[in-house]
Amino acid sequence: MARRSPHRLVGVLAAVTVAFTLFSPSSPAGAAETSAPARAAAVRPLSTSTPVVFVHGYTGSASNWTTAMSVFRLNGWSSANLFAYEYDSYGNNITNAQGLAAFVDGVKSRTGASKVAIVNHSMGGLVSQYYLKVLGGNTSVSHLASIAGANHGTTAAGACLIYTTCQQMYPGSSFIAQITSGDETPGDTKYATWYSACDGVILPYTSTRLSGATNNNVLCQTHIGYLADTVVLGQVARFIAS
């Protein structure tokens, strides 16, 4: 990975400072000069009762979400409401989506929640989209956050076409056609994506975007770098708390 410039590091540090300021329960400097309603809004805690299910990408695992879970805990989530779904990267994404459906049902039963939020990365986008759109999972999902999701496929999958999952992830596959035809963001679920021209794995990088979603163009972040990007992960937490 290329060394970040001093200006880039300053920008990241500034963004992190802003993020922690936004999430701080204490009143900001000068709050005494604002109106009472403004002060109340500034200190209102995030809505963090929704269980979150994290879905990793190709060859990933639950360990990919260590930083993300830390960020969510810092922003008010209980560890008891944070879950990571693991699946077979070399199998079939239809089977993986069916497994996600069962996993979500288990989380709902365990927590008593009527809906969960899903945060996915890379090929996890395909698993999640199939679950929400084809299997009707949108009725059980309040928010869907796709971080560098391969939602419209990636030509990088051409390097592993011996596996069904990679065949499904290649642009133009029947699997991609099924999850992108018609409404890409079905139901009452809130959808958001994060994508970057510096991704390097999702090709083209705009593949992550979903019609009908809030699509966030990140200035420059690598595909794996997102998993440790506390600024983006903080944005994801705020989105799910909205």
pLDDT tens figures, 79-97: 999 999 999 999 999 999 9
Residue 223 appears among annotated catalytic residues: yes
pTM of the predicted model, to two decimals? Answer: 0.82
Angle between helices 66-74 and 230-240 (to 10 degrees): 60
pLDDT of residue 45: 52
Annotated catalytic residue: which of 56, 143, 152, 223? 223
Q: Is 76 left (phi over 0), alpha (psi -120 to 50) or beta?
A: left
pLDDT in tens, 27-75: 333 333 333 333 333 334 567 999 999 999 999 999 999 999 999 999 9
Angstrom distance (rounded) from CA 234 to CA 5: 23
Residues 180 and 133: beta-carbon distance below 8 Å:
no
Mean pLDDT of the chain: 86
CA 114 vs CA 50, 109, 139, 151: distances in Å: 9, 9, 9, 26
Annotated catalytic residue: which of 56, 89, 121, 122? 122
Sheet of 214-218, strands arranged across: 82-85, 52-55, 116-121, 141-147, 190-196, 214-218
Residue 199 appears among annotated catalytic residues: yes
Annotated catalytic residue: which of 143, 199, 207, 229? 199
